């Protein structure tokens, strides 16, 4: 029996890729950059499975180019805003993602960004490398304390809750705004009734919300105007959740103390972005989940989602389980 034909849009970690190769007739895009739109449409023709990354836009055009034999789309990411899920559902195609696996790695990195911004760590290293450190001084590179301060979490899913756990080690008070989240008595975190209340109280504001039409440009000029003037802003969710022009103005005009971002819009961030001119803005290249174990586990789960879909079995993690109800009624 011939192996099912699949296309993998980038080289992923061997632990997952080997599973795909063993089960499938696999074509892998070898480039460091994602395939172009034209190449993607050409490569998906006739495949039964597609394993993609968050840099690949998977919409009705791509799904139709693949053809009616396409059984599954597996996204090597937790977020799936790169996939038009309703288009997949309309065609009876389950879409997989990789939740849970990267929670701790992302929360570790987000809290690391919080500390780095608060204590001006990257700025201090640049100061030293530039030869500006000539003596110890009582007022050099003063930062913000974390102990006893208030951390405000916008979004209280897996990663938001993991941030709350880490903040408890610094005796921080934790509040969150997420109308859809159930309280967790095991965590020292208190819900607030509105985003405005969170912004007024928080010394650190960290975004942990998915990208939707409701959250796009959520962090805008009004958002930053409502933050405390000595507050620190952290984003490890998705770049388009932030209005970067508004963030630049807030940082430049000292409206807030500092910001630290792992995600931007676009990605990669152009080198002429005004944000890169600011000492009080830390920007990382979307690496919050980039630990070896986490990326291995993501690759394995993405592979398992793909293989389950090819077998006609429920995906271990499916973002549109309604497709199974549709198939049951067919």
Report the catalytic residues: 238, 267, 286
Determine contact, residues 308/314, Cβ cutoff 8 Å: yes
Q: How many CB atoms lie within 10 A of CB 54?
A: 19
Asked if 62 and 87 count as a contact pair (C-beta separation under 8 A), the reply is no
Pairing type for strands 189-191 and 173-177 reads: parallel
Number of helical H runs and strand E runs in the chain: 12, 12
Q: How far apart are CA 87 and CA 94, in angstroms?
A: 11
Tokens of 22: 């063993």
How far is residue 149's CA from residue 36's CA, in Å, rounded to a whole number? 46
Question: 263 pairs with which residues across the strands?
Answer: none
**Pairing mode of beta strands 189-191, 204-207:** unpaired
Q: Which two three-digit tokens encode residue 253?
A: 């005009």
Among candidate residues 208, 158, 168, the one with its CA nearest the CA of residue 188:
168
Which distant-in-sequence residues (6+ apart) come within 8 Å of 297 by Cβ? 98, 101, 102
Residue 268 preceded by cis peptide, ω within 30: yes
């Amino acid at each position: 029996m011939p192996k099912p034909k699949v296309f993998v849009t980038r080289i992923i970690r061997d632990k997952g890729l080997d599973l795909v190769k063993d089960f499938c007739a696999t074509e892998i895009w070898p480039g460091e950059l994602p395939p172009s739109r034209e190449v993607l449409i050409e490569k998906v023709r006739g495949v039964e499975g597609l394993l993609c990354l968050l840099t690949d836009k998977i919409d009705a055009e791509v799904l139709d180019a693949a053809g009616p034999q396409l059984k599954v789309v597996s996204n090597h990411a937790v977020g799936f805003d790169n996939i038009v899920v309703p288009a997949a559902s309309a065609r009876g195609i389950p879409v997989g993602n990789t939740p849970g696996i990267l929670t701790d790695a992302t929360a570790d990195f987000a809290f690391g960004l919080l500390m780095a911004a608060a204590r001006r760590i990257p700025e201090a290293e640049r100061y030293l490398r530039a030869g500006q450190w000539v003596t110890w001084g009582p007022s050099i590179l003063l930062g913000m304390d974390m102990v006893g301060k208030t951390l405000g979490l916008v979004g209280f899913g897996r990663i938001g809750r993991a941030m709350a756990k880490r903040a408890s080690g610094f005796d921080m008070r934790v509040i969150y705004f997420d109308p859809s989240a159930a309280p967790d008595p095991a965590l020292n975190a208190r819900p607030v009734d509105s985003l405005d209340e969170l912004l007024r109280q928080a010394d650190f504001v960290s975004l942990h919300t998915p990208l939707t039409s409701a959250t796009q440009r959520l962090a805008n000029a009004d958002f930053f105007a409502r933050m405390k003037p000595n507050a620190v802003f952290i984003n490890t969710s998705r770049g388009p959740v932030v209005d970067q022009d508004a963030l630049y103005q807030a940082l430049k005009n000292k409206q807030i103390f500092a910001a630290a971002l792992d995600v931007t819009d676009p990605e990669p961030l152009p080198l002429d972005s005004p944000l890169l001119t600011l000492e009080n803005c830390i920007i990382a290249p979307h690496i919050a989940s980039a630990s070896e174990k986490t990326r291995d586990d993501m690759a394995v789960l993405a592979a398992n989602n793909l293989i389950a879909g090819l077998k006609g079995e429920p995906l271990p993690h499916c973002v549109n389980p309604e497709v199974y109800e549709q198939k049951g009624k067919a």
